[in-house]
Amino acid sequence: MTDAVRLTQVRKTYGKGGGAVTALDGVSIGFPRGTFTAVMGPSGSGKSTFLHCAAGLDRPTTGSVELAGVELTGLGEKQLTRLRREKIGFVFQAFNLLPALTVAQNIALPLKLAGRKPDRAAMAEVVRRVGLHDRLGHRPAQLSGGQQQRVAIARALVTRPAVIFADEPTGALDTRTAREVLGLLRDSVTAGGQTIVMVTHDPVAASFADRVVFLADGALVGELYQPTPDAVAERMTHLGAWAVV
């Protein structure tokens, strides 16, 4: 299987000298195309740093990241921005929709930014997938949290990116709505062949993935295939992740 994203010996150090913090300590991992991976670990274990390095939002101190066959290390800012636009979709906890734009305009925005024609077929497909056909003319403020996150997912899917990175996508949603959103992400992988990498604190959210990888102190310390919520929670307990919850 080909990897959509591959990190090789990625280290990320913030600061210098005595105050330096090693957020990632030599991480190597691949994410095969068409798979859904959850990234878990205690607070401060390096999850956000990992996601930012993998998505070209931040540069590793050493090591390399290859995304959709492109080595990110040598790219300049302009090339990186373009690659992010064309190859990556993002879903955040806080939705990050543009309030002045309609649902349809928010979904089409990545196509517009990439200078692509509004692709009617791609739009219709993602709107159908997330079930928003009767909300296309609404503004984000007129939608529930779950509906807003569905718009954000449609926006992430519309360019058919090589990978979607999600950072706590259900962190702001109630349990039932969270499950709907996770079901959509799952379906985009199973039926649509999308690749997804999702950071989460929630064992139930992680159980929607094909695989869970665990970070502790900036290093990968294990993985779990076909995760159940109980198996994930058990593993997290051993990492000391619930100590502060």
Ligand X SMILES: Nc1ncnc2c1ncn2[C@@H]1O[C@H](COP(=O)(O)OP(=O)(O)OP(=O)(O)O)[C@@H](O)[C@H]1O
Binding site for ligand X (CB under 6 A): 14-15, 21, 23, 41, 43-49
Q: Which of ligand X, Mg ion, none has residue 45 at its interface (CB below 5 to 8 Å by kind)?
A: ligand X
Closest CB to ligand X among 97 and 215?
A: 215
Could you tell me the CA-to-CA distances from 172 to 120, 146, 177, 209, 221 in Å, in that order?
Answer: 31, 9, 10, 19, 28
Q: How far is the CB of 55 from ligand X (least distance, A)?
A: 13
61 binds Mg ion (CB under 5 A): no
CB 122 to ligand X: min, Å: 32
Token pair 């593993």 is found at: 235
Alpha helices in 100-157 (DSSP H): 103-113, 120-130, 145-157
Minimum Å gap between C-beta 121 and Mg ion is 36
Q: What are the Cα distances from residue 103, in Å, to 140, 147, 173?
A: 7, 10, 19
* In the complex, minimum distance from the CB of residue 21 to ligand X, in angstroms, rounded to a whole number: 5
Q: How many CA atoms lie within 13 A of 222 on its CB side?
A: 12
* Cα-based angle 29, 182, 190 (whole degrees, multiple of 5): 65
Interacting partner of 110 out of ligand X, Mg ion, none (Cβ under 5 to 8 A depending on kind): none
- Pick from Mg ion, ligand X, none: which does 23 bind, CB < 5 to 8 A by kind? ligand X
Does position 48 interact with Mg ion (CB under 5 A)? The reply is yes
Tell me whether residue 22 or residue 64 sits nearer to ligand X (CB atom): 22
Binding to Mg ion by residue 8, rule CB under 5 A?
Answer: no
Stretch that binds Mg ion, among 34-42, 43-51, 88-96, 132-140 (CB under 5 A): 43-51
User: In a 3-state reduction of DSSP, which class is residue 187?
Assistant: helix
Q: How far is CA 1 from CA 55, 59, 150, in A?
A: 20, 26, 29
Shorter beta-carbon distance to Mg ion: residue 22 or 73: 22
Tokens of 97: 């929709």
In the bound complex, what is the minimum distance in angstroms from residue 135's beta carbon to ligand X? 31
Task: Please count the other Cβ atoms lying within 10 Å of the Cβ belonging to residue 122.
Answer: 17
Name the site residues for Mg ion (rule: CB under 5 A). 47-48
